[in-house]
Amino acid sequence: MSIVYVFYALFVLLIFNSLTHQFCLKMEMNQKKQSTVFRVINLMIMVLLVSSYIRVLNVVT
């Protein structure tokens, strides 16, 4: 189960990073601002993925 979830998490991160990159290009952000946006979005997505993984573990066991 955990191996499948790791692949799922990587896929989700890839999709969100792609969408964030497109957003930054569309808004014509400078490099410093882009770095901050990527860091914040990746942090929020990681928190959501970890909390959902913990919830899945609680349901499975």
Confidence at residue 1, expressed as pLDDT on a 0 to 100 scale: 74
The total domain count for the chain is: 1
For residue 20, give its domain range: 1-60
Confidence at residue 8, expressed as pLDDT on a 0 to 100 scale: 95
Is the Cβ–Cβ distance between 55 and 1 less than 8 Å?
no
DSSP H helices, the chain, are 2-27, 31-60
Residue numbers in the chain where pLDDT is lower than 50: none
Confidence at residue 61, expressed as pLDDT on a 0 to 100 scale: 73
